[in-house]
Each structure stands twice: as structure tokens, then as C-alpha cells.
Amino acid sequence: MIKFLDMMGKIVRLEKRLQEQLASIQWFCENGSTYEVYLHSLNMEETAERLVLLTRALPAYTGVPNAKLEVERRIKDCIPVEIGFTAEGWFCLRIPALLPKKSGGSADYIRSFLYPAMRAFFEKQLPVRYRDGILIYRHVYDKARPERKKRDHDNIEINMVSDIVAMYVMTDDGPSVCSHYYCSAEGSEDRTEVYVVPKWDFPIWLVKETGIPDEGVLLYEKR
């Protein structure tokens, strides 16, 4: 249990930091410094993500069999990723949250919930291989979110998502066979939509994008 106790020590230290950051946010909020609230909120968000990664690993350090599978099951319940194909035959996945900003641990955080979800979906069918496609990221922001809190596309962690999507539905995600497109939209709540669309269908997707309903397009299990 030495490794377990070592992990617990790391969790306790991060939890203490989280409490300190929360106290700072409350102080600045009460004293009317909006920008300081914003900066400290970002710091707390990063600490919380690190804490989540450590707590997800903790059950496995007990040595109990199938601990990892049980953690994956609970992650699936907490972060229900929607996966399927549109009526046009395009691959799509929807994550009920914005992707984290690029930072240490952000790739691991994405892998922890997206890879098990994709693996479970494609256990029921053969992987699909789109050739010469467009990998589209549509970042949907809660319309109540202030404009200044919307992020630049190059600050968002997408590499791990691209790697996992390519593993199951593309021949490769290299520039010779895959282009990228990023856009933002407003909705009733934050979420991330990822599409894989053949290049010849991309103009059609652009037209349809403006009419995507708030809850997202209907997805089917089969292409």
C-alpha cells in the first residue's frame, strides 16, 4: 500500500491547494475584482483537473481486480459521450463539456473518458475508414458565458481527441489525408462536437451547420 499512500498524499496536497484557491476566488468576488476572479478560477480549474486524474487512478492502487473497469464505468456515467453517424453518413461524437485548455494532464483527462467510450461503441461493429476527410471541431458555448471567456482554438487540447478518432474512423490523421476545421457556436449549455466528413461533403456540412439544433443532430448506430 506504499504507492497508494503516496498517491493519497498527492491528493491531499492538491485538495488543500483547491481549498486555498476557492477562498481566494471568494475574497476577490466579494471585493469586486472580476478579472482576478477570472484568473483564480482558471487556476482552480487546472488544479481540479489534476485532482480528478489522481483520484481516477487511486482505486487501481488498492490492487483490487477490475478496479480500472469499474472506474471506466463510472466515468461513462459522469461524462456520457454520444457517438454515432448522421443521416448523411458522417461520423459524429458529442462531449457534454468543453475540451480542456492545453496543460499538463489534459491529454490524459481526455483519454480517460473518450477512449473507453469509442472502444465500447466499436465493439459492436467494425471500424469505419474515411479517406481524405475533414476533421471538424465545433465548440458550443453556453450563451450565458461572457465573450471574453471563450477560448482561442489553438489553446484547446484537441490532439488526443484527434488521435482517438483517427484510430477508429480514419486511415490516418496526417495532413496529406486529413484537414482540420474549427468553429464555435452558442447553445443552452457547453459541449464539444466532433465530425469526420469527406472533403467533397464539406460544403454541405457548412450549410447544415447553421441549422444544427440545440440538442445536436440525430445520431444512428450504423452508417
Q: Where are the domains of the chain?
A: 1-78, 80-223
Q: Which of 7-16, 48-57, 82-91 has the lowest mean pLDDT?
A: 48-57
- Helices and strands, counts by H and E, the chain: 6, 5
Q: Is 8 helix (H, G, I), strand (E, B) or coil?
A: helix
- Residue 155's pLDDT is 73
CA distance 118 to 89: 17
142 vs 125: which has the higher pLDDT = 142
- Residue 156's pLDDT is 83
Mean pLDDT of 92-100: 92
Q: What percent of the chain has pLDDT over 70?
A: 95
* Cell numbers found for residue 160: 488526443
Asked if 88 and 203 touch (Cβ cutoff 8 Å), the reply is: no
CA distance 135 to 180: 5
Asked if 45 and 97 touch (Cβ cutoff 8 Å), the reply is: no
pLDDT at 153 > cutoff 70: no
Q: Is 156 helix (H, G, I), strand (E, B) or coil?
A: strand
Mean pLDDT of 70-93: 88
Fold classified for 80-223: 60s Ribosomal Protein L30; Chain: A; (3.30.1330)
pLDDT at 204 > cutoff 90: yes
pLDDT band at 109 (very low <50, low <70, confident <90, very high): confident
CA distance 114 to 157: 13
CA distance 98 to 9: 30
pLDDT at 97 > cutoff 70: yes
Asked if 91 and 196 touch (Cβ cutoff 8 Å), the reply is: yes
Give one DSSP letter per residue of 46-87, joined into a string.
HHHHHHHHHHHHGGGGGT-TTHHHHHHHHHHHHS--EEEE-T
Structure letter (DSSP) for residue 108: H
Q: What is the mean pLDDT of the chain?
A: 88
- Residue 104's pLDDT is 61
- Residue 101's pLDDT is 78
Q: What percent of the chain has pLDDT over 90?
A: 46
Tell me the pLDDT tens digit for each residue of 205-217. Answer: 999 999 999 999 9
pTM of the model: 0.78
- Residue 149's pLDDT is 58
176 vs 165: which has the higher pLDDT = 165
Strand pairing of 178-187 and 191-198?
unpaired
CA distance 99 to 43: 16
Tell me the pLDDT tens digit for each residue of 52-73. Answer: 888 888 888 888 888 887 887 7
Mean pLDDT of 22-37: 88
